[in-house]
Structure 1
Amino acid sequence: MLKSLGALLALGLAGLQFLAVLAVVFSSYLTSQTALLNHARDLLRDVGINTMEHSKGFLSPAEGAAELAARLAQNRVVASDDPRRLEQLLFQQLQIAPQFAGVYYGAANGDFVYVMRSPDQPGVFRSKIIERTHTGARQTRLIWRNGDFSVRKATLDPEDRFDPRTRPWYIKASEQGSTIWTDPYIFFSSQQPGITLAAPVFRNDRAVRGVVGVDIEISMISEFLSRLNIGTHGKALIIHRNGDVIAHPNQELIKTKTADGALRFADIREIEDPIARAAFGPAAERGAIPATKETPLQFIHDGERYVSTMMPVISDKLPWTIAVYAPENDFTEVIKRNRTMNIWLAALVAAVTAAVGLGLAVYIHKPVRAFAVRTALVSQGEIDPDEPMPKTYRELERANAALVQEIFARRAAEREYGETFNMSSRGMAQIAAGCGRITRVNKRFADIVGREVETLIGMPFGDLIHPDDAQNFVAPDRSEDGEFVLNRDLRCIGGNGQTIWVIVNAITIRDRQGQVLHAVLTMDDVTQSRSREQEIERLNKDLSHLARGNTMGQMASGLAHELNQPLAVIAQNADTALLMLDRKGDDGELHDIIAEIEQQSLRAGDIIRALRSFIRKDEGIRTAFNFPELLDQALRLMQAEATEAGVSIETRLPDDLPQVEGNRVQIAQVLVNLLRNAIEAIASQSGNQREIAIGATVAAGFVTVSVDDTGPGIAPDLSLFSQFETTKANGMGLGLSICRSIVEANGGALWLDEKAENGTRFCFTIPLHQSQAM
């Protein structure tokens, strides 16, 4: 009877447990399957968004580079008619952007300067320059250069007949008059997929002077797609608006040959990726590409179910659709296998539970039954109550042995954790909860902060943090509940005193009762990436400053034009009032006041005209003009700055200085720039002698102008006339380079007179007017 009841109890318990496990397994399977499918769609959407942002981030520098090169050429910062200087500018742009395959400039007269990467040629870079010689003949030069711009090889190509004006990028940019993107195509030379961006360069009359172009290889986007983990078999691709697949994890699939042997992109309806054809080919047939909104899809291919998503086009300039697909089993296969395994595990657990329960019931009941029998015998007087108790509780000894075995297993797990901690590729540290001190670190953590492991043990973690970031840091000993959760960027002080940017993540470890044991912290060194971000931020600020300066110049020009008219009216009315007073014979105090009004209004008009002529657009016309008059206008413009800096300006011009010939506005720009540099140099030092002297002499058909200042002089190791070389903290290093270009364009020369005894002396020449030079 006892055995039958025990067996019934064990089987009933096992059956209930089996049914409960099955119910949990099936309900968990259904909810997990729905959740995983939703997660799969979210994952595909995230992949699409990530690919869109990567593509925009990959291509946006090209647009900025092309527009910057066009503005530099248009504003004559770098002369587009000087092939060598233009080649050097394009060479620098190509070195800055690794995704650029080539940068070039095509002129309206057919001249062409092209710089491209050439890793398999004699040099790392190859330049192609087409220009007209002084006889009008066409000449094509090929130059291979090293990374430092030195020439490796140069040759002529008399067979070349390339004309940039016939190319689609030149025609489209010239007609639209703005930056354009071409459709993707396969580059002829590298056989790689790419896209071209072009921006026009205008003359002052808005006629197209030339077009700046950038070739970008987009194969790097395919490489990015190949590194994406989308389940186990999922893939992402990019489809152009005409249905061409321009990026795919397998780059060989996107290229196909035409009937004449040329390469072109494969259409989504013909690509040798059958799953991609099944997923997005019907959409192309229906005209749903490019997609206008996010489009999730489900389809079946070869009996297997798939999920896919098409993202809306990136932009009007880049009408690309990001398409992603993955098998459903990549996300649900695990829970299917887990469901089957759980069912078998539930059956096994139920059987084992039944057997163990039956044995346990018998084993537990055995001493109870012996106790009951002994009690009955004692009550009947057949056994003496003082006899020793039977040894029926040996299970306590076995429980103790099991506890010892568990302790050994726990120690082995702790040893494995310690090895993982020490061998981790990330910096790891263990922080005491009560005091915030470091109790354990690995070698990687010590290498990041530049200290020895023994030095770090016992040190408060807050002592490693930079003082500027320490005020926002809450140590574990200051937390109200001992919680220490951290996920942020910090600056730490290294062992040699240098600043280190790190990403720190920390979590609090608690025991089963919720008491804080310690905190585990991981650290990654991101100093180099932060340095690059700061460099990019400084460049953006400089470019924004340049744009604001241009805007203020336009505002000043408009203001000068508007103020000139009321000043003219004031002068005319004052002159009329003087005439009326003269008729009446009144030459008293009122006459003097009105005369002063007329004089000051004329003086204000002169200042406004000088300001307007200085900031208005240069028309490029060289005329004869009086240099002393131009110098007087320039001094009026700079008088306020000189007065504020406490600098006096003295002119030493001969009385019979002849007229000179050149662009009057450009020469004024040179004068103002040299005067401003001299004023700033003197203002940067303390001293009693704060003077600027301007002199002029006539010799050999030129007027030589000198600007002397009593400033600190020029450092001997500074290349003054090189672009982007400057001694000013906020300068861009273009002023003297532009001044030399302006003077040379007007037939003169600009140089630093190194024989000056005190301060600095800059000299430049202006040609005499032809009638004066003869």
Structure 2
Amino acid sequence: MLRNHLILAVAGVVLVLSLVLAGLWIWTGNVIVSIMSERLIREVTHAVHRDVDHLVRSADKAVSRLANGLARHDLSPGDPHAVAQELHTLLAEEPDVDWMFFANEAGGIVSVGRLADSSVVFLMTDEFRANVVREFEALPSGRIGRLRKSEGAFDARGRIWYARAKETGKRYWTEPYLGVGEPILGISLSLPVFNKNRNFVGVCGIDLILTNLSRFLQTLEIGDNGRAFIMDATGHLIGASGGVAPVTIGADGAHLRLQASEATDPIVRETARYLRRYPGVAGSSSPGPRVFSFSDPEGGRIYAAVDRAEAPGALDWTIISAVPASDFLTPVYRAAYLSIGVGTVIVAVFGVLGLGLVGRTLRPLTALTQAAHAIANGEWREVPKVRRNDEVGLLAQAFALMTFRLKETLEGLRRSEANFAEAQRVAHVGYWERDLDTDCLTWSDETYRIFGLTPRAGTVVSLAEAVERIHPEDRSIWSQAAAEAMRGESRYDLEYRIVRPGGELRIVHSQGDLTRDGSGRPHSMFGTIQDVTERKRVEEALRDSEEQWRAVFENNPTMYFMVDASGTVVSVNPFGAQQLGYTVDELIDRPVKDIFHEEDRDAVQRHAAACLEHLGRAMSWELRKIRKDGSMLWVRETGRAMVIKKRPVILIVCEDITERKRAEEAARRSEEELREVIETVPAMVWTALPDGRVDFINRRWQEFTGLCLDATAGASWDAEARFHPEDFEHYMSRWHASLATGHPFEVEVRIRRAADGEYRWWFENAVPLRDEHGNIVKWYGFLVDIEDRKRAEEALHKAQAELAHVARVTTMGALTSSIAHEVNQPLAAVVTNANAALHWLASEPPNLDEARETVERIVRDGHRAGEVIGRVRALLKKTVTVTAQVDLNGLVEDSVALVQGEVRRHRILLRTELAHDLPHVAGDRVQLQQVILNLVMNGMEAMKTIADRPRVLLIRSRLDASEAALVEVHDTGVGLEPQSVERVFEAFFTTKAEGLGMGLAICRSIIEAHGGRLWARTNDPWGAVFQFTLPSAPAENAPGEHPGPAPAV
């Protein structure tokens, strides 16, 4: 009784201590949870933020390198291959970048990227402008391979990444997007591209698949149930830890982005919903992660930290780490419960101690009996361990050993069966057994699957049902093979076609062996069946490919050779042998150097050694080969060494370049001949670069100027000392104008001869050579000595001036009486007025007013006589030709004044119709007045004999359709014969008995020297009309223009 009381007292004390210890554990645990959770989620959020920052920085560097690389190329529409190769090279240097692209101002795009199977492809629009997008295979060298597929029209200028990058001139991150047909997320970064002149030419960018970011998040462990995840500005999930995928499947089976607030994971879902209800938490501008906690109605309190990651564009991500408090409280509660449990167990131990002693003997026997019953029913239990040395212990040990061995045997059988089934499934190999007595077959599960049927365990298939699955055309050969096998003539081994229930055709390979009974009679057949459809397709494709390449090798009009390391021909295509005049068999096993020119054989060995030294590198060379008939041909060979069947060989492509070599030799000879012509031609020849720098002068130039090629080449024509000072400025302005406009250059200039310092006149002409784009690549010029021509022209000008003077004197001779009359009139008036003045002065008193008026009339008449004499002197004297602005109306009026006497004497009616808006012309006043006077005198001469009609002379001036000044002289005289209209301007042609025939010829030369035109026509109804035009004089000479010398006649 006392023992029982002591046991109860000790149990009570132990129980109270357990409860106190549990309470202490729970209080301490809450404090520790708060500290540990905050530190943990801060560290996790920092880690995620660092990874996101690394992604952004790496992307910024990659897109900057891309923009700098593209700026070196021509990015206009056209051929985009150079841009494609640049993108391919940069993509190989950026393992974390999945796509690179460039779009230009024409809306075109070129893109290169890696596909899911690690292959690289190009996407580009036709003509590098808005057009159809085509996908091409990217070859390892960066060249564009075969076309894979074509897509719809594409215009990059309508994409937001293009518009934003162009508008801001800065980087632009797009919103995350779903991959086409794949549950992966990607994001793009774009950047505007400027050429070397800082002009915008397009937008480049990269695509990043966020796989590495997702992997990083998956490696994070935050307690047992904690999660780290990233959301974008729209609340969609970017990635998360704990196996939470950011992509879900919609009702139509398509992939959709997952809203974090709709995630199946409770921690991610409830944290996202809390941030959506309280957006100010995530939008805080405080540096570093912001820690907060909230109560989850279902899972208790959750501790979380939130941070922001931002970049230009749509990259506005929220980084969250969240962990439930239960992850930290569970160990605390477990310790508290353990304390209570320990106390309870101690109390229980005292109660059951006695009962344990009783059951110590019966328990092992009961456990062994139950284990034996379970094994008999096919259930395996752990055999109880009996640590006794009596009969019960020995019995337990024997039972345990027997059970262990039985279990190992059964498990081995199951493993073998499972392995065999897996091997069948992987290799598409099934087995079958045919009972020859019943004609029923037993199939394995894989055999059912090969025939497109659902496995039926424990059932058999009739022979008729099996034959029904064989293709009708193959049933006869199957029956024959089976019959021959059963007769023992051959082993059953056959390939045939089967038809699955859906009509799909498959090819199988089946083989089997007979099983005989004790008497030797066949009673069954066991065999295997394998689906070889894919292997057959591969073999067929390989055979087609081999036949295709063999046809290319044998029929391609290009020479192909394969040479081993010793220089022996291993193979050659028929075309290659035919080009050399051999058969294929004659070249096989022959040293390749034997078919080369003797002088080139050492070079052949050097090139072969270089190829073998650099396996895989393509090399080219040009050498001479000798045909079988001894004739020679030039070839360009490209070779690359590689290892085939463990031995090095050189693959060679050979191109016949004999015609090209001949053309090059002909071009070289032609160039030498042209250079010899250039060096010996009696002219100075030069060439210059597009900017005007001289890069060639011929020997004639060097001899005349005294400058060698080294002193002249590379210099500009700005060498003032070479030219006459009066010509240099005009020459340079014309040359610079031609350089700026690309127009041909023509000028006459005086150049100093080095030998004696004499200036000689040269005519210089230069024309530009342009490429296919119209850009000037070179200037070609020559200079011809025109000194003798200039001197002849000067002599001719002097003779023409003398002749014109004679003509003027002759004209004035015809006007002698008229001029005398015009002079006598004012002189007679002077005498009369002088006498009157004397009379007025002699009066008493003198009449000074009348005398003054008389003297004024004397002055006026004296001036009138002086003007007549001045006009005559101007026409008669020899003067230097002077170019100035001339009033044609004034010249007409002066000429009319000179012929007034003749007009009255011949009773001619002279009228003038002069335009008031007639512009001035540039020319020599004396020469132009000579033309007008000559035409007026001719008109009056033509009317001298007319008596049956009025004698009318009309002088008219006006502007013609081209805004030139037009002067017409109409008469009503004898007129012109049609055949004489042009001949009247010929020298020494005249219709007058006393005429010389030079007047009109001189007039035409004067007008044409002034840039005008003089012609004649018949007047209606009588007489003739002579008319001439002169270009209007400019207000002033344009800057940089040289007016040139005035025409002299």
The two structures have a TM-score, normalised by structure 1, of: 0.42
Task: Give the TM-score normalised by the residue count of structure 2.
Answer: 0.32
More relative contact order, 1 or 2 (CA 8 Å, 6+ apart): 1
Query: Which has the greater radius of gyration?
Result: 2
